[in-house]
Amino acid sequence: MSIMQLATNGSELQSGTTWHTAGLLWQLRPSDTEVELLAHTRNVISSELEEETGLETGWIQNGGLFIASNKQRLDEYKRLMSLGKAYGIESYVLSPAETKDLYPLMNVKDLYGTLYVPKDGTMDPAGTCTTLSRAATARGATVIENCPVTGIQVKVDDLGIKRLKAVETAHGTIQTPCVVNCAGVWATKLGKMAGVNVPLIAMHHAYVVTERIEGIQNMPNVRDHDASVYLRLQGDALSVGGYEQNPIFWEDVSCNNCVSKSDKSFTADHKPLMGEAPEVRGFFLGCGFNSAGMMLGGGCGKELAHWIIHGRPEKDMYGYDIRRFHHSLTNNNRWIRERSHESYAKNYSVVFPFDEPLASRNMRKDPFHQVLQEQGCVFQERHGWERPGWFNRDGPAPILDYDYYSAYDVPKNTDYKYSEILGKEYTFDFPPHHDVIRDECLTCRNAVAVFDMSYFGKFYLTGPDAKKAADWLFTADVNKAPGSTVYTCMLNKRGGVESDLTVSRLEPSPAHLPLTPESNGEAYYLAIGGGVAQHNWSHIQAVLQDQGFHCTLIDHTEDMGMISIQGPKSRELLQEVLDSDLSSDAFPFSTHKIVNAAGHKVRAMRLSFVGEMGWELHIPKESCLPVYHAVRAAGAKYGICNAGYRAIDSLSIEKGYRHWHADLRPDDTPLEAGLAFTCKMKTSIPFLGRKALEAQKAEGLRRRIVCFTVDEKVPMFGLETIFRNSVPVGHLRRSEFGFAIDKTIGYGYIRNPDGGVVSPDFVRSGEFTLERMGVTYKATAHLKSPFDPENKRVKGIYG
């Protein structure tokens, strides 16, 4: 297989950001995936590369020191310290006096404390790059410098799929089915050659080097996040750089001045752009590293290689996958510019659990947006959509146009209620609106609540091979009678979960779009969490293409809204709105029908994401508001309330439901995640990932998801370390407060320290604690949900 990596538009290696990068490596980040990526880079640079080549990389292990000037910052550092214990990373939270002992030159009078990581360090960017290139050429790679790319050829195959064909250079054309865009600030221009959107922006980045400082030798590198600066040890001097709120955009990115400026590329969410572009098969991205290319490069390079060769990375790289962004955003200049600016300006900001962007909001709004805003909805942004977070009792909090934090002479937004609400949520304690979320949750548990879930992806799978495709794509047997709805997973070859979703088999129908598509074969309706809709669209399309299935995937996400009415009173309420018998005999759980709602045709599904009896109403866009108003009017006497995704997060974890990309990711299998019931393993029907699951089942699980509850009223948010018999065995992926059981709940995957099988007995026989910010709390492990373990409530059995 021929693979080309396209580097900078400069004439030589290291002529991009490599020549002026700081080369710092910090081991602790508020992301388990990033901790693992950084660990791989560190291992390669500090030992493996030199052992393989005999050449030095210039690695200096002088340690790293994070400075905290306030309690919130120190709390964040304590969270990082606790997470590090799950990975064996040595770190210490130091007092100002202890910091002074470590770093005598530092003024510690205004410090709250510090985080010290002794095995952080610095790499020599030029030396590392040279050693890597020599190692690559020794293994058969060819490095061609002074060879500018002038064009990229794309072909269309017999199925109409765009695929990479060749790369044109000033010295000739190279035929290749695969190219990797590693061109940094020039990646956007390179992408345009192939018709690929690369959503990043170039900004000037400044740093200064001090004169010699007596006594600075061997001191650790420093990050003062609150001052937004870093101090890199450079012999007997310091290199000092930072991230201001008014960075200078590099408007005219060209190769003529490519080595004369200190410029870096930044993305909309401060994460790299990786993976196969959705526009062209064989065109991969490895760019937009937001000043972290050296430290993340080793881990990301390994994952990208696996991605190209095997079709998927080994780790959960969804947060870096270009498909995390909706296609309507990746070529939207306003979105790219505003969000990339905000990610730059907040580079060193505390990462709080409930933070939301202020830039480029209101890009995608569903039909309920205005009426919910008038009722006090505090929106969250996901995949460009505005979705309900929770409902403020103090009236509307509209989101305003981005003010660039008053940079560039843009007037600062004043009396900005939404921003003020976000600011109050900046805490690692229970947020100030905790009681509002509680009321939404308990109203759902005790009466009835309505949730706007319109941002869900809504796809139709139709065509002659639709049944074959459904059998191969979905782990569950979705080919039940028309009118059935099945919760299922989609996997990759390694058995990892690419998505969980519901699949409804439709009645044959000539034309009732958007509720029912035309089809000359079987037809299925797919409802997928909106934050991963683009990812799943691309995954399904790739599978259909690779398998040669003759069927069509139709996206009707924008054409339909969806509300979910949940709670013990949901049947009584909806019986007054819908023209269908809602009894369990007539409308059982996991079924769907087209019904009339206040005179409008809707697809009603008896499902629940919160563990209560309830129905989803999938509604054509023009009918959304009349149906919503009818539901609210009928629900008044039952005490109905609006509820948002903060409530869903709490209710769903309480019931033990998984959230994709929280406690269910592409590096988790359904067996590990407690979702074996979604897999048709007792049938002979093949499906994608089945062989991997069969092998895992035969071998036994080496890790398993476990539910934990904590009796003490303490907030947890995920990344807390799990200890079994005082030995770290994992960390929480997700945590919320469960208001019905009145306890903190967390889910995490645990391993056996000796590498053995993690059996139910291994879980039952252990004593567990959870560490939060350096403090341990006794925890109870559960193999089943602590709330309604017999699953009665979704069936309408109360009392």
Taking the C-alpha atoms of residue 701 and residue 279, their distance in angstroms, rounded to an integer, is: 37
CA angle, residues 321, 323, 328, in degrees to nearest 5? 140
Taking the C-alpha atoms of residue 510 and residue 182, their distance in angstroms, rounded to an integer, is: 48
Q: Nearest Cα to 384, choosing from 338, 449, 415? A: 338
Q: What is the pLDDT of residue 646?
A: 98
Condensed to tens digits (0 to 9), the pLDDT of residues 396-434 reads 999 999 999 999 999 999 999 999 999 999 999 999 999
Cα→Cα distances 713→102, 609, 709, 734, Å: 36, 25, 11, 17
Q: Are strands 221-224 and 64-68 parallel, antiparallel or unpaired?
A: parallel
DSSP state, residue 747:
E
Which amino acid, residue 120? D
What the block records as the tokens of 298 is 């080793």
Close Cβ partners of 151 (under 8 Å, ≥ 6 residues apart)? 167, 168, 193
> Bigger pLDDT: 716 or 799?
716
Taking the C-alpha atoms of residue 321 and residue 305, their distance in angstroms, rounded to an integer, is: 14
Is residue 686 packed enough to be buried (19+ CB in 10 Å), middle (13-18) or exposed (0-12)? exposed
Q: Residue 151 in 3-state DSSP?
A: strand
Condensed to tens digits (0 to 9), the pLDDT of residues 332-358 reads 999 999 999 999 999 999 999 999 999
The DSSP-derived string for 246-309 is: SPPB--S--STTTTSS-EEEEETTS--EEEE-SSSBTEEEEE--TT-HHHHHHHHHHHHHHHHH
Which amino acid, residue 321? D
Q: What is the pLDDT of residue 773?
A: 97
Asked whether residue 17 carries a pLDDT value surpassing 80, the answer given is no
What the block records as the tokens of 615 is 């129905």
Q: Strand order in 449-452's β-sheet?
A: 592-597, 600-605, 614-620, 560-566, 449-452, 641-643
Q: Dihedral (C-alpha) 669, 672, 678, 681: value to the nearest 10 degrees?
A: 80
Place of tokens 């996997």: 491
Taking the C-alpha atoms of residue 67 and residue 63, their distance in angstroms, rounded to an integer, is: 13
What the block records as the tokens of 205 is 């980045």
Question: Across residues 295-302, what is the average pLDDT?
Answer: 96
What the block records as the tokens of 528 is 């997928």
Asked whether residue 519 carries a pLDDT value surpassing 70, the answer given is no
Q: What is the pLDDT of residue 55?
A: 86
Close Cβ partners of 144 (under 8 Å, ≥ 6 residues apart)? none
Q: Nearest Cα to 405, choosing from 246, 289, 606? A: 246
Are 464 and 550 spatial neighbours (Cβ–Cβ below 8 Å)? yes
Place of tokens 């994608």: 688
Are 263 and 146 spatial neighbours (Cβ–Cβ below 8 Å)? no
Condensed to tens digits (0 to 9), the pLDDT of residues 605-640 reads 999 999 999 999 999 999 999 999 999 999 999 999
Strand residues in 546-699 grouped as ranges (E):
552-555, 560-566, 592-597, 600-605, 614-620, 641-643
Q: What is the pLDDT of residue 10?
A: 53
What the block records as the tokens of 33 is 């995936």
Condensed to tens digits (0 to 9), the pLDDT of residues 660-713 reads 889 999 999 999 999 999 999 999 999 999 999 999 999 999 999 999 999 999
Enumerate the H helices of 293-354 as residue ranges: 293-310, 333-345
* CA 13 to chain centroid: 32
* CA 356 to chain centroid: 14
Q: What is the pLDDT of residue 178?
A: 96
Q: What is the pLDDT of residue 514?
A: 62
